[in-house]
Amino acid sequence: MNTMIPFHEINSSWTLFLDRDGVINHQKENGYINTPSEFEFYEGVKETIAACSLHFGKIIVVTNQRGVGKGITTNENLELIHQKMSSDIKAAGGRIDGIYYCTDINNDSLNRKPNTGMAFQAKADFPEINFSKSIMIGNSLSDLQFGKKTGMLTVFLTTTNAEPDEAIIKNADFIMDKLKSLSGMLKS
C-alpha cells in the first residue's frame, strides 16, 4: 500500500467510483448476474452508500459486463438490474449519480477496465469530477489499475479475494474487508 486515504477530508468536491459485482453485490462464482432476482446486495451496502451520499459530490458505478457481449445476459436485463440497484439504494437514502458499463469482450476495449474509458465518460457527463479527488473501490486488480491510470486513490475489498497478491498490494492505497467498513471512516 502506497498512501493513506484522507477519509476525514472527503467532502462534496470528491467522487466515489465503485465497481459493482464483488463490491456492491455478491459476485457469482464463474458466472454472471443475469437477472434482477440474482442481484443480492452485500449486508450494509445500501446504508453505506447512503452515508457516502452525505459526503461525496458524485457516486459513480463502473462495471465490466462481458456477459452481455457473450450473449449470456441481455442489455435489457442489465438495465433492469441497474434500475433495481439504484431504486433500492435510493429507498435506503442513498444515490448513484451514474452507471457506466462495458459489455465488450475484448480486453483491449477502451472502455473495459483496467482501461479508462468509463472514467472519461463519467467526466464528460459530470465535468466537476476531479480524478485527483476521487476514490476507486474494487475487488480486482483491473479495478485498481483503472483507478491508478486516472490518478485516483484506490481501495481494494477482500470480498472475493481474502489474500491479495503482491500486484494488488502494490496498486491499493487501502485495503478493507467490505464496503460497509467505509462508513466508520467518514467524518460525521
Residues known to be catalytic: 19, 21
Question: Is 1:169 a contact under the CB 8 Å cutoff?
Answer: yes
Residue of 72, 58, 56, 65 lying closest to 25 (CA atoms): 65
**Which cell is 77 given?**
436485463
Name 29's Cβ contacts closer than 8 Å, sequence gap at least 6.
none
Residue of 29, 25, 14, 21 lying closest to 59 (CA atoms): 14
Which residues are 136's β-sheet partners? 17, 154
